[in-house]
């Protein structure tokens, strides 16, 4: 199995190691029939008997998850392991001729598990395939907190958000703390790990508060469009944001109560 596009040196080394294993296992096992030669196809698995596994002798097979090409197999790969409902969304296709040597599925597994060394190699092969797919998924997945601006170190007194400015980022304090001000009046504190600056990103309106670091702090900046995508796809982030906003509303309510109370009751 190979990944589409560029891949890391680690993935390359893993692919090269796995590629040679199936032929070693099957060297002493008799094929259950003559090699199959197939034309280009959009659904290879539909044309292969479910009770057989195949050593790919020639050609290239593309693997798609849903409608997205994700990986491909070349000479030396074992084809047909992907069966059952868990693989219903996986489609194998080829754009050219294929040559596959068939083996009875049951006999292959008996052969593999009859020898502890082969069994260990088969487990290594499966785990390696999972690792390769993990690399592919990592490349496809939105970068989430890997923002284009990344992390920023600020000193005490530095302004992080200015009231009235346009909102293009959401912030998280990784280390340190800050304070929020509206019209010069302090309205609350921003603690470590708290998300702030999100409300204006949601509404598209200017910033409604100024946020100033009160200690040397490390801040993570997340582009607004990435953050909106994250809240739609990650319920935990949305839940954390709701909690943060609830705390901020509570702080504002307490601040308003103190400001409107008679002097002796403040």
pLDDT, tens only, 20-30:
889 888 888 99
Instruction: Look over the chain and give the mean of its residue pLDDT values, rounded to a whole number.
Output: 79
pLDDT, tens only, 65-82:
776 777 788 888 898 887
The mean pLDDT value for 168-176 works out to: 85
pLDDT at 144 over 50: no
Q: How far apart are CA 204 and CA 201, in angstroms?
A: 5
The answer to whether residues 251 and 175 touch, using CB atoms and an 8 Å cutoff, is no
Sorted by sequence, the CB contacts under 8 Å of residue 226 that are 6+ apart come out as 142, 143, 144, 147
Sorted by sequence, the CB contacts under 8 Å of residue 3 that are 6+ apart come out as 11, 15, 70, 71, 132, 135, 136, 139
pLDDT, tens only, 231-240:
666 666 555 6
Edge-to-edge strand list for the sheet holding 195-196 = 150-154, 217-223, 169-175, 195-196
Q: Alpha helix (H) ranges present in the chain?
A: 9-19, 21-26, 105-113, 116-140, 198-203, 224-233, 235-260
Residue ranges and CATH numbers for the domains of the chain are 2-140 (2.60.120.10), 150-265 (2.60.120.10)
Nearest to 196 by CA among 154, 142, 254, 248: 248
Q: For the chain, how big is the Rg over CA atoms in Å?
A: 29
């Amino acid at each position: 199995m190979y990944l589409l596009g560029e891949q890391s040196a680690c993935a390359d080394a893993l692919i090269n190691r796995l590629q040679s294993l199936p032929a070693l296992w099957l060297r002493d096992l008799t094929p259950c029939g003559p090699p199959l030669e197939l034309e280009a196809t959009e659904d290879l698995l539909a044309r292969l008997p479910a009770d057989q596994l195949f050593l790919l002798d020639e050609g290239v097979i593309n693997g798609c998850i849903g409608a997205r090409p994700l990986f491909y197999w070349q000479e030396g790969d074992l084809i047909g392991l992907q069966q059952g409902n868990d693989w219903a969304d996986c489609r194998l296709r080829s754009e050219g001729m294929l040559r596959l040597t068939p083996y009875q599925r049951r006999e292959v597994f008996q052969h593999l598990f009859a020898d502890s060394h082969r069994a260990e190699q088969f487990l290594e092969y499966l785990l390696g395939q999972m690792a390769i797919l993990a690399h592919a998924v990592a490349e496809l997945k939105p970068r989430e907190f890997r923002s284009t601006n990344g992390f920023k170190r600020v000193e005490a007194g530095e302004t992080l958000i200015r009231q009235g400015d346009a909102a293009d980022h959401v912030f998280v304090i990784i280390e340190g703390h800050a304070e929020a001000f509206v019209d010069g009046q302090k309205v609350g504190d921003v603690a470590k790990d708290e998300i702030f600056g999100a409300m204006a990103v949601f509404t598209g309106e200017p910033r409604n508060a100024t946020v100033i670091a009160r200690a040397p702090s490390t801040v993570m900046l997340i582009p607004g469009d990435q953050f909106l995508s994250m809240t739609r796809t990650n319920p935990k982030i949305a839940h954390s944001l709701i909690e943060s906003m609830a705390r901020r509303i509570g702080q504002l309510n307490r601040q308003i109560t103190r400001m409107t109370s008679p002097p002796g009751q403040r």
